Amino acid sequence: MNPAPPLWRQIQRQNFHRLTDLADFLRLSPDQRARLHHHSAFAFSLPRRIAQKMAKKTLNDPLIRQFVPLIDESIPAADFCPDPVNDLAFRRHAKLLHKYHGRVLILTSSACAMHCRFCFRQNFPYETQNQDFSSELDQIRNDPRMEEVILSGGDPLSLSNESLGKLFFQLAAIPHVKRIRIHSRFPIGIPERIDEGLLSIFAKHPQQVIFVLHINHVAELDSDILHALRHLQQLGIPLLSQSVLLNGVNDDEMTLRILYSALINAGIIPYYLHLLDRVDGSTHFEVSAARGRQLIQDLRNHLPGYAVPRLVQEIAGQPSKTLM
82 is a domain residue: no
Percent of the chain with pLDDT over 90: 96
Q: How confident is the model at residue 3 (pLDDT cuts 50, 70, 90)?
A: confident
User: Is pLDDT above 90 for 316?
Assistant: no
User: Do 134 and 173 belong together in one domain?
Assistant: yes
User: Do 171 and 271 belong together in one domain?
Assistant: yes
1 is a domain residue: no
Q: Which residues pair with 116 in a beta bridge?
A: none
| 2 class by beta-carbon count within 10 Å (0-12 exposed, 13-18 middle, 19+ buried) | exposed
Which secondary-structure segment (H or E) carries 294? Answer: helix 289-300
Q: Specify the number of domains making up the chain.
A: 2
User: Do 99 and 42 belong together in one domain?
Assistant: no
80 is a domain residue: no
Task: From 63, 162, 41, 45, select the one nearest 113 (Cα to Cα).
Answer: 45
pTM: 0.96
Contact 67, 50 (CB under 8 A): yes
Residues 189-230 pLDDT 10s: 999 999 999 999 999 999 999 999 999 999 999 999 999 999
Query: CA dist 81 to 123, 182, 183, 321, Å?
Result: 10, 27, 23, 19
User: Do 212 and 102 belong together in one domain?
Assistant: yes
318 is a domain residue: yes
79 is a domain residue: no
Residue numbers of the domain that contains 109: 87-323
Residues 74-83 pLDDT 10s: 988 999 999 9
Residues 37-84 pLDDT 10s: 999 999 999 999 999 999 999 999 999 999 999 999 998 899 999 999
